[in-house]
Amino acid sequence: MKRYFMTLSILLLLPVMGWGQLSIDETQTIANSSNQPAPVHPVPSERQIAWNETEFYAFFHYGMNTYTGQEWGDGSESESTFAPTKTPNPEQWLTAAKAAGMKGGIAVVKHHDGFCLWPTATTEHSTAKASGYGKDVNIPQLFSTAAQKLGMKYGFYISPWDRNSSYYGTQEYIEKVFIPQCEELAGYGSDQFEMWFDGANGGSGYYGGKNTTISIGSTYTDRVMYYDVANLRNRIHQLAPNCVMWGVGGEARWIGNEDGYAGTTNWSTDSRNDENNNEQGTEDYWLWNPGEVDAKATSGGWFWHQGESVSTAEQLFTFYMQSVGRNATLILNLPPDKSGELPSATVSRMTELGNLIKNRLGTDLSQSVTASATRSGGSFSAQNLVDGDKDTYWATDDGVTTATLTIDLGQSRTVRYVMLQEYIRLGQRVQGFSIQYSIDGNSWKTASSQEAMTTIGYKRIIPLNGSMSGLASGYTARYIRVNITKSKACPVLHTVAVY
């Protein structure tokens, strides 16, 4: 209010003072009356923020390979080999994922073998020619309907590399097959959250019946150019505005391994080149390209294989901590079997995992928070960190890049995890922090953790006196301190929690 009157008086005085005397600072006051910190660029788009909030979702590798026992088909498989013993049941897949605490899922609907799990207009190599319960089955349709019914987010994996199409490697493939297929998929729901493009660039296959090798590298300088990504992005975003284009699409990146972990330091800025810094991101890169960890929940491969086992809930909890707990999302693969359903062992393991995550990270013990420094001229109080509102945040004044947050739990408790979230709409800023604990608020000890405390980003979870595996031993404490020791600009956090 005070600033408003100041600005108003300067405006009224202008004719007397002359334009030349209007200071640049006052112009800024008019544009930023709430004194919001300036963003540290690059910042995420709205669709990238919504994607990050999905946090944990399932991958369902199901298709021709389920029936041949392969991981990569070569495109020569007969359509009739796709023969589910029951009607495929995506609602069952997503219900299991939901029980694990996942917020969505991505269904593989065309793998490298080119077989489409929907009756597409672009090729005959689809369920239109499948047999038994597979004939005319439409997985995108069943999957999106089930997700909408269950209140889950959904999207599709489509392999750009197609070992069946005779057009692969030519411009016709992009115009007549690949982009139209992506558009058909986008048509199964304008609320899709991610489309997954595998990084493969070609190789051997039965392209149109001809056993040969086609690599796009010799004709096109790179896959971004060959797959006409700029055009593809525009066309998909027109149909599904919130759909993040993963991988070659340049809106979310592969984390660089398939073993269930992101780097302990993890920047959401990075190039879209698969070979560079994927686990850590690149601190000062110009592109917002956050990491997604893809991992398998079973022992056999991405597709279902006879005799495979499902990982223990503890192993899957470690994946969760090493991804969601390190500023990445987790896409966990659950392969349906030949019946078109998830095996019962996978289903019960998902309930177990959901309970484990809820028990360890489900009840926030914080009661109030104070800060050693708080930004003036707006609503930036430390209490915003525990108000349950992701749109209110705490910040310091410009130029103040270190600060201490003290969280009071009201009484001494066993504390095992600290969770922190930056307000990434203003960019990823924090470069270093430490955690201390105290029983009386006077004598403090430094918490030990095997996690490097560098970046925070969308979300960071730090185990106290323990690692990302198993239940952290924790400490007995009433107070927790988070010391921000280094930040690109004034730190801006929206939530802290203690478990």
Contacts with ligand FUL, residue ranges (CB under 6 A): 71-72, 198-200, 294, 302
Phi-psi domain of 342 (left: phi exceeds 0; alpha: psi -120 through 50; beta: other): beta
CA distance 84 to 349: 23
CA distance 4 to 1: 5
CA distance 2 to 397: 18
Contact 328, 293 (CB under 8 A): yes
For residue 47 the two structure tokens come to 């669709």
Nearer to ligand FUL, 251 or 294 (CB): 294
Distance in Å, CB of 81 to ligand FUL, minimum: 18
Nearer to ligand FUL, 292 or 451 (CB): 292
CA distance 85 to 88: 8
Distance in Å, CB of 315 to ligand FUL, minimum: 18
For residue 44 the two structure tokens come to 């995420």
By beta-carbon distance, which residue lies closest to ligand FUL? 302
Contact 290, 246 (CB under 8 A): no
Nearer to ligand FUL, 216 or 407 (CB): 216
CA distance 156 to 189: 11
DSSP labels for 270-338? --S-TTSSTTT--TT-SSB--EEEEEESBSS-SS--TT--BPPHHHHHHHHHHHTTBT-EEEEE----T
Nearer to ligand FUL, 72 or 479 (CB): 72
CA distance 248 to 253: 8
| DSSP state, residue 269 | B
Distance in Å, CB of 393 to ligand FUL, minimum: 35
Compute the half-sphere exposure of residue 149: CA atoms within 13 Å on the CB side of its CA: 12
Distance in Å, CB of 46 to ligand FUL, minimum: 27
Nearest to 395 by CA among 40, 50, 43: 40
Distance in Å, CB of 197 to ligand FUL, minimum: 10
Distance in Å, CB of 426 to ligand FUL, minimum: 33
Distance in Å, CB of 303 to ligand FUL, minimum: 8
Nearer to ligand FUL, 114 or 474 (CB): 114
Distance in Å, CB of 476 to ligand FUL, minimum: 43
Distance in Å, CB of 59 to ligand FUL, minimum: 7
Nearer to ligand FUL, 129 or 305 (CB): 305
Nearer to ligand FUL, 194 or 451 (CB): 194
Give how far Cα 54 sits from Cα of 50, 258, 272, 283, 366, Å. 7, 20, 21, 23, 24
Nearer to ligand FUL, 198 or 341 (CB): 198
Nearer to ligand FUL, 65 or 192 (CB): 65
Contact 178, 162 (CB under 8 A): yes
Amino acid at 466: G
Contact 149, 91 (CB under 8 A): yes
